Amino acid sequence: MELVTGGRVVLGERQPGDPELPPDLLDALREWAAFAVSVTRSGGPQELEVLQRRGRQLASRVADHLGRPVEFTDPITGEVESVPVGSTGPIPQLPAEAAGPTPWATGFTIAAFAAVLAAFADIALSRAFAEAFGLLWVPANLLVGLGLAPSLYLLRNTPLWRWPALGAAAGLAAAWVVLLLGLLG
């Protein structure tokens, strides 16, 4: 298995009786080749290590599928090594970069803006819906809240988007309080 100019992976000589590689493995090899082209040009030491480890892991998968050892040519050093059958390891991942300080002031400003926007939008739409259809705004508003809940939940750990998600959730809760108080008065 060798990466050649143009970002292609050459699997070497095929032997009689070698099965065809599955499409997912071929896709993984193409993806690795594209990654290798970009990393060998401007990658840091961590990316180069991941490139080498992922290449060995894919070579091991090829060896497992073919049922025989394959040769892996390291795209960085050019060294050729034999990869035996049954040496598949975990897929390497880049180490997580240390996050900077949390921007609380900016984040709460964004969250407050999103809360006001979500609350006003929900109140306006619910009142318009109530004028047209009566109390049918309640289940419609429940569907809106339940529809947004998974997206808002998934955004809670995304560095920038956690603030609008927090604001939208708070705005929807505030809108419900305002709408329910509007039913009383």
DSSP code per residue over 137-183:
HHHHHHHHHHHHHHHHHHGGGSTTTHHHHHHHHHHHHHHHHHHHHHH
Across the chain, the runs of DSSP E, i.e. the strands, are 2-4, 8-10, 70-73, 80-83
pLDDT for 116 beyond 60: yes
**Taking a C-beta distance cutoff of 8 angstroms, is the pair 162, 155 a contact?**
yes
* Model confidence, pTM: 0.49
pLDDT in tens, 49-67: 888 888 888 888 888 887 8
**Per-domain boundaries in the chain:** 2-83, 104-184
HSE of 141 in the Cβ direction (CA atoms, 13 Å)? 28
Q: What's the CA gap between 142 and 79, in Å, rounded?
A: 61
Q: What's the whole-number mean pLDDT along residues 115-143?
A: 94
User: How much is the mean pLDDT over the chain?
Assistant: 83
pLDDT at 72: 80
The two tokens of residue 117 are: 């926007």
